[in-house]
Amino acid sequence: MASITRHAPINLDEFTLKDVLISENELGYGSSGNVLKLEYQGLKCAGKKIYQFLGIVFEKGTQLLILVTEFLPTDLRSCLEHYGVLHDEISYSILHDVSLGLAFLHSQTPQIIHLDISSTGILLSANMTAKICDFGSAMIFEGKYQQMTFAPGSPPYMPPETLVDDPHYDASVDVFSFGALMVEMFTAKLPLPEIARARKDPAGILIVISEVERRQNLLNKIGDKHPLMDLITSCLSNNPD
């Protein structure tokens, strides 16, 4: 289905490849699909090639198009609020699914950065397979420490480099968010920092508080002997590298 420039009211028709000329020019691309330059009956158009979906249907009595996608009954936040900390086998499986998704995004050339990883953006299937959604903040990353917008995602999951007046950051933002997500997985609580970002010592010198220390009470609930503690604290490092 092509998206038609509205020069005049038109009726939506079922197109075939014979009707639409597809150029080799890509107008844009992202995690969900590519936008291609098309031509239909002499009109310049854009069409989206979607990577994964089940099909399309027109709403009865109208020409409104409905994309039919997989039904995912809940999100991770709702699951944790209802059940509390999940069994280790389920928790590890969910985190593995999310890590595979992020690894795929970050392995693209150029990279795709999600910028809004959180428990509400992780949808779960009936068999607890996790899938990343909420790509509204996602962006194509062109270079090291690119200048960005201020704190693009949910604050509990955002690293300190996104919370400054002139933020510059890269795909490590998603890594930090993944660390915060692990904290939430193993405590069933939002990974909110409980300590201010800085404090003054007795001499009045400002001391920057690490993100690990700011969440120490939550980390204590997980315990130092947890097999993923080293990974959690590494992801939550103040150093993006």
Phi, psi of 66 (to 5 degrees): -120, 125
Helix extents (H) in 37-141? 76-83, 88-106
- Among 47-56, 103-112, 209-218, 219-228, the range scoring the smallest mean pLDDT is 47-56
Q: CA–CA distance from 74 to each of 45, 55, 71, 121, 187 (Å)? A: 36, 22, 9, 10, 19
Cross-strand bridge partners of residue 67: 56
pTM of the predicted model over 0.85: no
When comparing pLDDT for 64 and 5, which is higher? 64
Q: How sure is the predictor about 32, in pLDDT bands with cuts at 50, 70 and 90? A: low
29-167-179-90 Cα dihedral, nearest 10 degrees: -30
Considering only CA atoms, which of 220, 216, 211, 206 is closest in space to residue 240?
211
Query: Which tens digit of pLDDT belongs to each residue from 149-190?
Result: 566 788 999 998 887 777 778 899 999 999 999 999 999 999
pLDDT of residue 149: 57
Please count the other Cβ atoms lying within 10 Å of the Cβ belonging to residue 4.
Answer: 19
How far, in Å, CA of 225 to CA of 241, rounded? 25
Query: Active-site residue numbers?
Result: 116
177-181-184-190 Cα dihedral, nearest 10 degrees: 40
pLDDT of residue 222: 98
pLDDT of residue 5: 35
- Ranges of beta strands (E only) in 82-225 are 111-113, 122-124, 130-132, 139-141, 146-147, 168-169, 198-200, 206-208
pLDDT of residue 152: 76
How far, in Å, CA of 98 to CA of 112, rounded? 15
pLDDT of residue 146: 57
* Residue recorded with tokens 């509990």: 156
pLDDT of residue 49: 72
Question: How much of the chain exceeds pLDDT 70, in percent?
Answer: 85
When comparing pLDDT for 7 and 202, which is higher? 202
When comparing pLDDT for 27 and 38, which is higher? 38
